[in-house]
Structure 1
């Protein structure tokens, strides 16, 4: 359904440090900067792009929005969460835990306050 997700950042260098660490923790690769100055992450068919806003105004986090990132295992979710905290993210919601549907889930806010979740596939 989606081709990509684009989010804004007020500090691309800080965003790269955070997202490189969290995607590497999931078994992915560091992001690459494209010719237009956007960070691009490609992982398991998904594409996340991070840019400074085109309109020149400050980037803000979506109120009520969450970006979900697939993880292969509970260990990957925990590594993602730890890497995010170590690179400027903030733990939010409940601690990493299994949900009633069997998915293992963790939540973070990135340094620009975007809400993220890493989760395994449901087992029930």
Structure 2
């Protein structure tokens, strides 16, 4: 259904440090800057793009919006959360934890206040 998710940032280098660290924790690669000055992350078939707003106004986070990212395991979720808080993210909601459905979830706000969630799915048979 989706081709990509694009979010705004007021400081692309700060965003690069945060997202490089959190995607590395998930086994991903550093972001690449395209010819239009957008930071692009490709991971497990998804594309996250980060840009300064083209209208020249400050970037703001979506009120009520959450970007969900898939992790391979609870260990990756914990590593993502740890790297995110070490690189300018803010821990929100509950600490990384298992949900009643058996998934393992963590939440952060990135340095521009975008809400992120990483989830590992339950293993079959749970």
TM-score class normalised by the smaller sequence: over 0.9
Task: Write the deviation string for residues 24-59 of structure 1: whole angstroms up to 9, x where unpaired.
Answer: 000000000000000000000000000000100000
Report what 1:86 is aligned to: 86
Q: What is the deviation of 1:121?
A: 1.4
Q: What is the deviation of 1:95?
A: 0.6
Report what 2:7 is aligned to: 7
Q: TM-score, normalised by structure 1?
A: 0.98
Structure 1 position 61 matched with structure 2 position 61: yes
Kindly report the root-mean-square deviation, in angstroms, between the aligned alpha carbons of the 2 structures. Answer: 0.7
Report what 1:73 is aligned to: 73
Q: Give distance in 2, aligned partners of 1:3 and 1:122.
A: 26
Report what 1:97 is aligned to: 97
Structure 1 position 28 matched with structure 2 position 28: yes
Which consecutive residues of structure 1, in runs of 5 or more, have no partner in the other structure? none
Moved over 3 A (4+): none
Task: Write the deviation string for residues 94-120 of structure 1: whole angstroms up to 9, x where unpaired.
Answer: 010000111100000000000000001
Q: What is the deviation of 1:14?
A: 0.1
Q: Give distance in 2, aligned partners of 1:122 and 1:114.
A: 26
Aligned length: 124
Q: TM-score, normalised by structure 2?
A: 0.97
Q: Give distance in 2, aligned partners of 1:114 and 1:24.
A: 19
